Every structure is written in structure tokens, then in C-alpha cells.
Structure 1
Amino acid sequence: MTAPRWLDEEERRAWYAFVAAGALIDRRLDQQLKDDVGITHLQYEILVRLEAAPGREMRMSALADALFHTKSGLTYQIGQLEKAGLVNRRSCPSEPRAVYAVLTAAGRRMLERAAPGHVALVRELLIDVLTPEQLTSLADGLGEVNRRMRAD
């Protein structure tokens, strides 16, 4: 068995900064969305994905994959959004096991209300804090991490 390759000081600094920033940003975005429109950050992301999808609908399994969320956890979130009238579910006649989440008109209106405050806070917490070069490095570096992890 080979010895672990421990993080050096700069690597540890980068890792801790990444973990802390991710958690703090997510917490602030979640709180802002709850305060402004009564939904969570995850629920907002579900609505965004559905809005961008063809026909404003996605198969539940594909939606879970896109959000890096468990199918059971997504089913719960879709249930909450359905109770609020923001999403409907529909089955697929040609694939009985396939269930689709469909954005409703109320869901689109929710996004129209939620997006300005959400985007303003994303800018405040991340985008406007970094230089254009830092943003490019962040996007390139995290993009590579995403590509490698998706390839596994």
C-alpha cells in the first residue's frame, strides 16, 4: 500500500477556501430565496432546469442527474413544488416507468419573481468579488473537475 499524498500548505488553503465558500454561498442563496419567495435554492435550481428544458419538462431521473441529487430526494422536492402549484408530474404513455416533471405557469411566474434577487446575490457573493482573470480560472478549473468526475 502506498502512503497517502498529503496536501501541502497551499493545496490545503485552496481546499479549505473552496469548501467554506461553497457552503457559505449556498447557505446565503438558500436564505435569500426563502426570505424573498419561499423556496429553497435547490427548488429554484429545479425550476431553472425545467424552464430551460424542451417543452419545460424533464424526466425525473435526468433532472436528478443534472442536479447531482438522489432520485428519492428529488421526488420529495418535486412533491413540495407540486403542492405549491409550481410543477406537475406526468407519466409517459410509451414508457410506463418514466415520470416527467413539468413547469407550470405559476412556476414560471415564481422564477420571474425569484431570479432578480438571486442573480443580484450571486453577483454580490461571487461574480463581482473576483477579477475577470479569477473568474476564468475558476470556471476553467472547476469545469475540469466536473468533466473528470462525470467521466467516472
Structure 2
Amino acid sequence: MQEIPTATDIRAYETVALFGRLLETAVNRVLHQRFDIAWEEYAVLSALHRSPHQFLHMTEVATALGFSRSRVTRAITRQELQGRVTRSACPRDARATHAAVTAQGTALLDRISDTYEAAVRGSLTRLSIGAEQVEGLVKQLEPLSGLRARSKSAINCARRRRSGAPNSSG
């Protein structure tokens, strides 16, 4: 039987959701003004760049960022048109598609990183969130979100890519 959410549960959800939207909106504004890139496009590039082999399955990008698959597809398509991302068939699963960051995408991330970090810091400061509070939030929320989980399928696909093994649907 499903528990009925308490007023505190609802308040917690609404507070966390509002906090996330305020940060995303502020950072998005800066990225658009200075680099003509949306925050979600930056997030996709960053997720691909941080992955062990600089590529992920499209579904893994969606999971890592908490985006819908269609949102990831739109962001990847825009980045692909700019030459920042490439797509390729997964050698292990014919149904899956890899997205990989290109040298051009990595160069953009390098140019953006200081501005992105300053925008995040500035947004937290404007919201009166101190370093200790941020650390506390990360310690509490990160384990719940699973954002740092390593991608096993990307690692397996990387092994297959390096070995030149034939395509497999397993």
C-alpha cells in the first residue's frame, strides 16, 4: 500500500524542485548570453566528457542527467549539427546508439568551464547558500540520485570497440 505524502514531504519536494529550477534558469541565462548554448546542451556535453571513454548510450545520458530520452535526443541533435557530438551504432546492441563528444565539443567545454563554475557560484551566493550548506546538500542528495554510478554498458562497449569484435545484440 502506498503511503500518503505528508505536508513535509510535499514541502521538501517543492523546495528541492524550486531550488533546482532557480539554479538552472540562472546558469542557463549566462550560458546562452556568453556562448549561445543551453544548459541542457552543456550538461549533455559534460556528461559525455566525464564518462570513462567519452561516450555513452543515449539512454545512459538520459539516466545520468534525469532527462527524458526525447530531451536528450533533441540536445544531442543540436550538438551534432554544431559538430560537438557524434552518434554511432553500439557494437554490442543493435538497438542502442552511442553519443560521443568530439574534439570541438571538448574545446567548447574548456572555454565554458570557468564561466559555468562562476555562474553556479554566483547563483548559490544570490540564493544565500554557503559552502557548508552546499556540501551538506551534496552529501544528502547525491547518494539518493545515483548520478555518479559508472556505466557498465559503456565500459563493455569500449572493450568491444578496442578489440574490434563483431557486433552482438547481447
Say which structure is richer in strand.
Answer: 1
Higher RCO by CA contacts (8 Å cutoff, separation 6 or greater): 2
Which residue number in structure 2 is paired with residue 146 of structure 1? Answer: 145
Query: How many pairs were matched up?
Result: 146
Which residue identity does 1:71 align to in structure 2? R
C-alpha offsets along residues 79-134 of structure 1, whole Å, 9 cap, x if unaligned? 11100111000112342112100111110111011111110011111269433432
Q: TM-score when scaled to structure 2?
A: 0.73
Which ranges of structure 1 fall in alignment gaps of 5 or more residues? 148-152
Q: TM-score, normalised by structure 1?
A: 0.80
Q: Tell me which protein shows more helix as a share of its residues.
A: 1
Q: What is residue 150 of structure 1 aligned with on the other side?
A: none
Amino acid at match of 2:48: L
Could you give the per-residue CA deviations for residues 16-53 of structure 1, whole angstroms, max 9, x where no partner exists? 54333221111111111111111111110111111111
Share of identical aligned residues, percent? 28
CA distance in 2, matches of 1:5, 1:64: 27
Matched, 1:133 2:135: no
Q: Which runs of 5+ in 2 are unaligned?
A: 147-170
Q: How do residues 110-129 of structure 1 correspond to structure 2 at under 5 angstroms?
A: 110-126=108-124, 129=128
Q: CA deviation at 1:141?
A: 2.6
**1:107 pairs with 105, 111, 114, which one?**
105
